Amino acid sequence: MTDKQTEILERARTLLAEMNVGHQVPTMRINTQFAKYKTLPVTASKIGGVPYLPKGQDGPVDVNGEPLHMIAQINCVDLPPNSIYPTEGLLQFWISPIETDTEDYTSSRYDRVIYYPKLGKANRKAHKLVITEDNGFIWPLLGGEYALSFEPENLESGLKLKQYSTGQLFTRLWNERYPQEQIESPWDLDELAGLEGDDLASTFYEDLDHHQLGGVPEYIDWDPRDDKEEWKDYTINLLTLVSAYEGDTITIMWGDAGAANWLITPEQLKNLDFSKVFYSWDSC
C-alpha cells in the first residue's frame, strides 16, 4: 500500500472513530478456525458440525415438522468475562435451510434458539444433517465446521458503515473536512487513492465486518426492528454471523454477501427466555 493509500485509509478510520464517540457498545469478536482434520466435540463452541443434544432428545423441527439445522452453538464457559451471556450452559442457534419467516421475525416458526443451563450425557445418535441443493436453498454454511474463540469484551463501533444512513453521514462529514477531495460514497475512497478497483474501500469495510456476540447487528438494507413498535425492545445482540472467506474460499454466505442477526430483549435475557428471539438475515 502506498503512502497516499495508507493516509486515506487512516483518515477514514479516524473519521469513523470520531462519529462513534458516544455510540460504542460492548462487543466480543469471534474468531474461527476450520476443523479440517477432526470432528469437534458436541459441546464445543462452533459454527456447523454435530450439535449437543441431551440423551434421548432429538433436534428441533420447524412449523411443518421439518428438521432445523444447527448453525452455531456457544458454550458459555468458553467466553471471556462479559456483560451479555450467562456464565454457564450452552446456547444453540437453529435455522431452516429453506424457509425464513419474514412476516414475524420472533415467531420461531423456522428457527429456534435453545439454551441448556446444564450439560449432561449427550445423545450419541446426534448428527449433522445433510444439506443438498433440494433442501439447502438458504443454508449459508458452505462446508465443514469451525471452532470458535472469543476476543475479550470491548467497546466497539455502534455505527455500521454498511447502513445507508451511516454511509451518508460519513460522506457528508468527509466532504466538510476535505472539501478538495469530495466523495459521493465511502466506496469513492479508492479513486482518491489512485486505485481502479475497490481494494482500499474493501479493507476499510472489512475492519468492521466480523462475527460477533453483542455489539450492533449487521443490517445491509434496513433495520427490520423499525417495522413494528414492539420489536424496538430487541436491543441486545446475541449473535451476528457475517458472510466470510478463508483466503479465496467462501465459508459462509448469506444470500449475496449478507449477514444474520439474533436479538433479544433485556427482560427476556434476564429471565433466560429464548423462546421469542428476533432472527433475520438480509443481503445486498
pLDDT digits (tens, 9 = 90+) for 220-233: 778 899 999 999 99
- The C-alpha atoms of residue 250 and residue 268 are separated, in whole angstroms, by 34
Backbone φ, ψ for residue 17 (5° rounding): -60, -40
- Give me the number of domains the chain comprises: 1
pLDDT digits (tens, 9 = 90+) for 21-36: 888 889 999 999 999 8
The domain that holds 226 is classified in CATH as 2.30.320.10
Neighbours of 139 (CB within 10 A): 18
Backbone φ, ψ for residue 203 (5° rounding): -60, -45
What's the distance, Cα to Cα, between the start and end of the chain in Å? 28
- The C-alpha atoms of residue 111 and residue 280 are separated, in whole angstroms, by 10
- Kindly report the CA angle at 261 between 135 and 20, in degrees rounded to 5? 150
Residue 209 confidence (pLDDT) above 80: no
pLDDT band at 3 (very low <50, low <70, confident <90, very high): confident
Cα–chain center distance at 56: 31
- Kindly report the CA angle at 142 between 139 and 146, in degrees rounded to 5? 105
Q: Which residue range forms the structural domain that includes residue 181? A: 3-282
- The C-alpha atoms of residue 188 and residue 181 are separated, in whole angstroms, by 10
Give the residue carrying C-alpha cell 446475541.
238
> Residue 108 in contact with residue 262, Cβ under 8 Å?
no
Residue 204 confidence (pLDDT) above 70: no
- Kindly report the CA angle at 190 between 184 and 191, in degrees rounded to 5? 70
- The C-alpha atoms of residue 221 and residue 102 are separated, in whole angstroms, by 14
pLDDT digits (tens, 9 = 90+) for 65-92: 999 999 999 999 999 999 999 999 999 9
Backbone φ, ψ for residue 5 (5° rounding): -65, -45
- The C-alpha atoms of residue 8 and residue 190 are separated, in whole angstroms, by 9
Q: What is the pLDDT of residue 269?
A: 98
pLDDT digits (tens, 9 = 90+) for 132-173: 666 656 799 987 899 999 999 988 777 777 677 788 999 999
Task: With H, G, I as helix, E, B as strand and everything else as coil, classify residue 15.
Answer: helix
Residue 198 confidence (pLDDT) above 60: no
pLDDT digits (tens, 9 = 90+) for 83-118: 999 999 999 999 999 999 999 999 999 999 999 999
- The C-alpha atoms of residue 19 and residue 216 are separated, in whole angstroms, by 15
How many Cα atoms occupy the beta-carbon half-sphere of 244 within 13 Å? 23
